[in-house]
Structure 1
Amino acid sequence: MGFIFAAKFWREIIICFLAFLLLITLMLLNVKTGKLKDAEAKCQQRIQAIEQAQYKALNEANAKANKASADYEKIKAEQREKVETVTRTVQKIVERPIY
């Protein structure tokens, strides 16, 4: 009789045990998902910090290049004035020959 009584409840015991294991699995999954979201948020923050540093470095490099370009254009314009002055003076001397 004891065997028949035990056989009747094995099915319910196994179902309860599997439900308990499912519950534990879902809780672990929830914990791991939360940790994953936290890690992803930290990763995004680090990526944004790196991007901002790169944009800052790029802007500084562009400012340096623009300053160098402006200095070059200024020197080039000054030298162009000197060349034009010398060329015009020489042309005026050549254009009026003295006999």
Structure 2
Amino acid sequence: MHWLILVLAGLLEIGWAIGLKYTEGFTKLWPTVGTVLSLVASFLLLGVAMRALPVGTAYAVWVGIGAVGTAILGIVLFNESTEILKLVSLGLICAGIVGLKLAHG
């Protein structure tokens, strides 16, 4: 259950990271509200997941989900580059996330 909570926290991290772009420097009210709510929920769920998961593992997985998801949405939503080195690097982050899960059990 804690792993599911951690994945949800990571997905919310993607939400607030992408949301930052839409706030336009916190000048737009509703994107700012959504971003802040996503940020708070993400941190709260990360804290709940850390009750049962090691801090290093939980934090690394949370950041990894957020980084990969944000980079993919950056490609899809904002036409960011798809250079092969970038894609391979994202794949390595995914492999690291899977490795951390397998190492924890």
Q: Which structure's relative contact order is higher, taking Cα pairs within 8 Å and 6+ residues apart?
A: 2
Alignment TM-score > 0.5, same fold: no
What TM-score, normalized by structure 2, do the two folds share? 0.25
Instruction: Give the structure with higher Rg (CA).
Output: 1
TM-score, normalised to structure 1's length? Answer: 0.26
Name the one with the larger helix percent.
1
